[in-house]
Amino acid sequence: MTVLVGVLCQEGVILGSDSSATFAAGNLNTIEQSVQKTFVIGNDVILATTGAGGLGQRLQHILQTLRGLREFHWSEKHWYELVCEVCRSMLQNMQATYLEPGQVGALLAFACQNTFHLCEFGVTDFQPEMKDPRSWFVSMGSGQMITDPFFGLLRRTMFRDSQPTLNEGGFAASWALHNAIQLNTGGINGPIQLAELRRLGPGLAFQARLFGNEELAEHGGAVKSIENYLADYRPHLVSTTDIIKPLPEPPATP
């Protein structure tokens, strides 16, 4: 079981995931342990996968191959060409071992033609869908039923006027992951994993990197602070001057 989150920010992209992997013998689950689900590929690609772990490994290999092909010119391609090639290559890879779509999905953050992008590859058919400045939150995996409404609340309140910055996106992704881990019925667990794609400076190259423990702890502290703030707000909802009015008498029976 997995939860993936992505945020298309004003100046880059945030991707994140939980760390839980459930091992199985046939249809029987055996153990659960932490694995890496968010990966940095090269200096301008981040991948997070949901579904069969082996298919996630194959997708990593495909991206590493495409990213390293000199004749492919990754950074010069239009985003449409890149996501279609990733889709085609992965589906062909699955067909080569007699697998149908529906067993793997992914979030992909990448840079090309001097800008950054966030793409969702759906679990059911692995078809690409790009995120844009009107739709900047995305989540996938078994925890999506928890994270989608949570992102909807953040969009309606904290981020109703504009896209988040990278720092705000990291906080939003961290809060969404912590919330999903706390509320899920099993199979989604920490530690959370976060990565960002950002430009190093005006006119400079992009950099993809995983967050370190210190940054994860900083965002985790911000999550605790805002949750404590919400808890402390409760007394303000009931004024000491409020008078509880008695219920009206029922009408007299004729």
Each domain of the chain, given as residue ranges in start order, spans 3-24+31-232
- Rounded to whole angstroms, what are the CA distances from 191 to 1, 16, 21, 111, 148? 14, 11, 12, 27, 20
pLDDT in tens, 48-70: 999 888 999 999 999 999 988 87
Q: Report the pLDDT averaged over residues 37-44.
A: 92
User: Which pLDDT score is estimated for 31?
Assistant: 60
pTM beyond 0.75, yes or no: yes
pLDDT in tens, 81-121: 999 999 999 999 999 999 999 999 999 999 999 999 999 99
pLDDT in tens, 7-23: 999 999 999 999 877 66
Structurally, at CATH architecture level, domain 3-24+31-232 sits in: 4-Layer Sandwich (3.60)
**How far is Cα of residue 222 from the mean position of the Cα atoms in its chain?**
18
Gap between the Cα atoms of 232 and 171, Å rounded: 20
Gap between the Cα atoms of 132 and 10, Å rounded: 10
User: Which pLDDT score is estimated for 7?
Assistant: 98
In the 8-state DSSP scheme, what is residue 210?
E
In this prediction, residue 245 has a pLDDT band, given cuts at 50, 70 and 90, of low
